[in-house]
Amino acid sequence: MTTAIFIIFCIVYLGMILGGLPFLQLDRTGVALLGAIALIGVEAVSPEEAAKSIHLPTLILLFSFMVVSAQMRLGGFYTWVTRALAALPLSPPALLAALIVVVAALSAVFSNDVVCLAVAPVLIEACLARRLDPVPYLLALACAANVGSAATLIGNPQNMLIGETLKLSFGGYIAQALVPVLLGLAVTWGLIAWQTRGRWTQGVSGAVDQAASERREDHRASFDRWQTAKGLSVAAALLTVFLFVPSWPRDVAALTGAGLLLMSRRLHSTKMLGLVDWELLILFIGLFVVNHALQETGIAAGIVADLAAAGVNLERPVPLFAATLVLSNIVSNVPAVMLLLPVAGHALAGPTLALVSTLSGNLLIVGSIANIIVLDAAERRGIRIDWRRHARTGVPVALATLAICAASLWWRISPAA
C-alpha cells in the first residue's frame, strides 16, 4: 500500500508541475481531486480519515474572504478605485507608484488573485485612454499584488494556510513582514520605472480598437456605495478582531462576517456564491488528503532525515528558505507550502514560508496565479506579454525582494545566534 500511495503522490505532484496530466483534460485542481479519490478508491485512506486530514479552519477562512471579496466586486469597488486612480493628474512614473501602493494595500486584505482579476481589465482601458503603454502597469499590478499580499496572513491562500496551521499571531506576523514588503514595493517601482524610462507610450497604437471592442463585451457591476460600505465595514471589523481580539478564532470571526454579508436584501446569495473560487477550495481539499497519506507512510519524514544527515536540515532557516524558493517555482506556492509545513518548527519558519513562497511568485509566470490572471486579461485585449517580457521584470523584482527578505530574516536570527 505504501508503494501505491507514493505513486499516486508522485503523479499528483507531476500534475502540479505540468499544470495538468498528459492526455487528460485535467488542471491542477482536477489532478489533486483525482489523487484524493484514487487514495480512497484503493483504500489507502478511508473516507473518514480523508475528512479528518482536511484542515477546516483554513478552508473556512479562505471561503469567508472569498465572500467578502465577492461583496466588493459586486459593489463595483475595484472598478471604481482603478478608474479613480487612473484619473489622477499624475506623471506616468507617479501613476505607477500610486498603482503599486493601492494594489498592494488591497491585496493585503482582499487577496492578490481577486484584486488582479478585478483590476486588470479596467487598468488596460484606463492606460489606453491616457495613451500609456499598459504593459509596465500590468506587470506592476501582478508584482505589487504578490508583494503586497505577503504583508498579512490573509493576503493569499498560502499565507492563510500557514497562519492557521502554525497559529501565528496576526499582528506579530505583520510586524515581521511589513519592512521587507514596503522595501520590496519600493524596489518594484524603481525597477519597472527604470526599465520603462522614456517609453511610457510605446505600443499604444493598435491596441485601442481591440480594447474598445472588449469594453463593449465586458459587463461590470456599477459602483454601489452601500454595498461597498458594507464590505469595507466587515473587512475593517475583521482586521480589528484579528489584531486586538486574538482569543476569537480567525476562521470563526471571518465566517461570521461572511454570514452577515450573505444576509442582503439586494444582492442574491447566488451571485455572491457564484464568485467563490470553488476550484481553489477543492485543490486544497485534494492536496490535504494526498499529503496526509504520504505523511502517514513515513516516507516524507525519512527524506527529511536523510537530507539532514547530508547537511541540508530543512528545519533550519537557510535550507527552508532555499527549499521554499525552489519548490514554489516548481509545483506552485500552495503545494510547496503544504509539503514544507511539517518541518516548519523554527521560530521564523512561518514568516519564512509565507514571505518566500509569496515573493517567489514574481520569478516566473507560473509561480503565481495572479501573474496568469493579469497576462490572460491582457491577451484577451490584444496585448501580448510572453514569458521573456515577464521575466525581464519578474526575475529582477523577485530576486531583489527575496534578497531584502533574506536580509530581514537574517537580522532577526542574528541576535539569537
Question: Under a CB-based contact definition with an 8 Å cutoff, are residues 107 and 368 in contact?
Answer: no
Cα separations in angstroms, 87 against 20, 95, 129, 383:
41, 10, 10, 22
Residues 6+ apart with CB under 8 A from 183: 401, 404
Q: What is the pLDDT of residue 144?
A: 97
Q: What is the pLDDT of residue 346?
A: 82
Q: Where are the domains of the chain?
A: 1-53+277-297
Q: What is the pLDDT of residue 183?
A: 97
Q: Residue type for 401, please? A: T
Q: What is the pLDDT of residue 216?
A: 46
Is residue 340 exposed (0-12), middle (13-18) or buried (19+ Cβ within 10 Å)? buried
What's the CA angle centered on 43, arms 40 and 49, to 5 degrees? Answer: 60
Number of helical (H) and strand (E) elements in the chain, helices listed first: 21, 0
Residues in the chain: 417
What count of other Cβ atoms lies within 10 Å of the Cβ of residue 216?
7
Q: What is the pLDDT of residue 206?
A: 52
User: Of 16, 22, 29, 27, whose CA–CA distance to 367 is shortest?
Assistant: 16
The answer for 152, left when phi > 0, alpha when psi is -120 to 50, beta otherwise, is beta
3-state SS track over 84-145: HHHCCCCCHHHHHHHHHHHHHHHHHHHCHHHHHHHHHHHHHHHHHHCCCCHHHHHHHHHHHH
Under DSSP, the state recorded for 226 is H
Per-position pLDDT tens, the chain of length 417: 889 999 999 999 999 888 888 888 888 899 999 999 999 999 999 999 999 999 999 999 999 999 999 999 999 999 999 999 999 999 999 999 999 999 999 999 998 988 998 999 999 999 999 999 999 999 999 999 999 999 999 999 999 999 999 999 999 999 999 999 999 999 999 999 999 988 888 666 555 555 544 554 455 668 889 999 999 999 999 999 999 999 999 999 999 999 999 998 888 889 999 999 999 899 999 999 999 999 999 988 898 888 888 888 888 889 999 999 999 888 888 889 999 999 888 888 999 999 999 999 999 887 888 898 999 889 888 898 888 999 999 999 999 999 999 999 888 876 544
Q: What is the pLDDT of residue 33?
A: 96
Secondary structure class of 313 (helix, strand, coil): coil
Question: Under a CB-based contact definition with an 8 Å cutoff, are residues 159 and 358 in contact?
Answer: yes
User: Of 411, 337, 394, 408, whose CA–CA distance to 147 is shortest?
Assistant: 394
Longest Cα separation, the chain: 65
What angle do the packed helices 56-74 and 225-244 form, to 10 degrees?
A: 150
Q: What is the pLDDT of residue 284?
A: 92
Q: Which pTM was predicted?
A: 0.89
